[in-house]
Amino acid sequence: MKYFHLIWAALFRRKTRTILTLVSIAAAFLLFGMLDAVRISFDQAGKSANGAQRLQTGSKLSFIETLPQGLGEKIATVPGVKSVAYANWFGGAYQDPHNQVFTFAVSDNYIDQYPEVQVGDEARKAFANTRIGILVGDKLLEKYHWKIGDQIPLQSNIFPQQDGSKNWTFQIVGALHPTEQSVAFYGQIILMHWKYFDDAVMKGYNNGRVGWFVTRVKDVNQADQVAKAIDALSANSDHETRTQTEAAATASWMKQLADIGLIVGSIMGAVFFTLLLLTGNTMMQAVRERTSELAVLKTLGFSDRSVLAMVLAESVLLVVLGGVIGIALAAILIPGVSAGSGGFLNLPTVGANSWLLGIGLMLAIGLVVGSIPAWRAMRLNIVDALAGR
């Protein structure tokens, strides 16, 4: 550490170049922090259901496979189950195919599974008594300037009515008001009657089947046991199920659409490869500019190993400074990103493991990019360097 002032002075010899390089490194590790949070959220999802108030039961084969509606009656008899509801994906677009609206056909008691989502008593009654009635998230009402009583057209991207038309008309009878961040997603969706959907859709498209079941458990500490009991109901049948937390179910859907680990790894690989080239070029140029200064240090008695260590330390310090700034920014931004996603993302904060992995990468990258210029500095010939050869 006695040479730290020399290392620091050398690092900021060209302030503009160093600052721009630090910004690039910080950006790379900011991306690392965000993507590592995504990776962790997918890896952790589904490891245990204990602690979850609700469980989601879907097809074990694929999230696009449906299940018989009657399975819900069997699930209701499982010890530890408080209530069961079910839902189907409907999809939908408003006015323009690009204006996609998340729309679900749900059972009458579906909203009761979510006490965190407020629906007025009048809206509940209107929804129960209106065949084409829908409940709309408050954010969605604001976005399209809809109001209670409006009739709106939606075009399903999958399901035609019995006359072959994919254009459906609904009447807004109430609003969904999520009160917790964990269910903020409900501020941006539409709920319609499953019975109306099943009766009105063209034969062969649904036939009394549902996409998934949502189960409330009596004791959150027994959720794992309840999940296993539910799946046992359909074991060795043509509709085997997988019961997990809602977060785990979302992660499972995403994993079926794409290999999240491969995507994250590929992006980070490309980012760090580019970072190696950028930082390596910076260090090579910095050492080349200080050739005569390094020769003077050797003339004053600095050993080859001391010069090697100083250049390596400069390289490591550059990467560590930028990396720590980047991961710190990720730790600050992740809660905001999760909140701003409207419940779509539930990213964990940057934990000790992420910091350790990040610091390990910083040290490794610093040593790699500094090795060649440090080796050249160590083997520098004093006479040639001072002569400018």
pLDDT of residue 44: 54
Q: What is the pLDDT tens value at each position of the chain, 389 positions in all? A: 567 777 787 778 888 888 888 998 999 899 888 888 777 766 554 444 455 788 989 888 877 788 999 999 999 999 999 999 999 989 888 988 888 888 999 999 999 999 999 999 999 999 999 999 999 999 999 999 999 999 999 998 889 998 889 999 999 999 999 988 778 888 999 999 999 999 999 887 888 899 999 999 998 888 889 989 999 999 888 889 988 887 766 655 555 445 566 677 777 888 888 888 888 888 888 777 777 777 777 777 777 788 788 888 888 899 999 999 999 998 888 877 766 655 555 666 777 888 888 899 899 998 988 888 888 777 777 765 566 55
Query: Strands 241-244, 54-59: parallel, antiparallel or unpaired by DSSP?
Result: antiparallel
Q: Tokens 């590592």 map to which residue?
A: 36
Smallest Cα–Cα separation from 327: which of 367, 306, 357? 357
CB 103 within 8 Å of CB 151: no
Tokens of 388: 């400018």
Query: CA triplet 352, 338, 64: central angle to 5 degrees?
Result: 110
Q: What is the pLDDT of residue 124?
A: 92
Query: Which structure tokens are listed for 150?
Result: 């409006």
Cα distance between residue 328 and residue 320, in whole Å: 12
- How high is the pLDDT of residue 269? 80
CA dihedral 22, 23, 27, 29 (to 10 degrees): 20
Q: Token pair for residue 261?
A: 């680990």
CB 172 within 8 A of CB 192: no
Spatial separation of the C-alpha atoms in residues 372 and 19, rounded to whole Å: 22
Cα separation, 368 vs 371, whole angstroms = 5
Q: Are 168 and 205 in contact (CB under 8 A)?
A: no
Distance of CA 61 to the CA centre of its chain: 23
Q: What is the DSSP string of 99-138?
A: SB-EEEEE-TTGGGG-TTEE--HHHHHHHHH-TTEEEEEH
CA atoms of 329 and 320, how far apart (whole Å): 14
The rounded mean pLDDT for the chain is 83
How far is residue 263's CA from residue 48's CA, in Å, rounded to a whole number?
Answer: 25
Q: What is the pLDDT of residue 281?
A: 82
Q: How far apart are CA 93 and CA 46, in angstroms?
A: 31
> Position of tokens 């019975």?
195
Alpha helices in the chain (DSSP H): 4-11, 15-44, 71-76, 121-129, 138-144, 194-200, 223-232, 246-257, 260-289, 291-299, 304-340, 352-378, 382-386
Using an 8 Å Cβ cutoff, are 162 and 201 in contact? yes
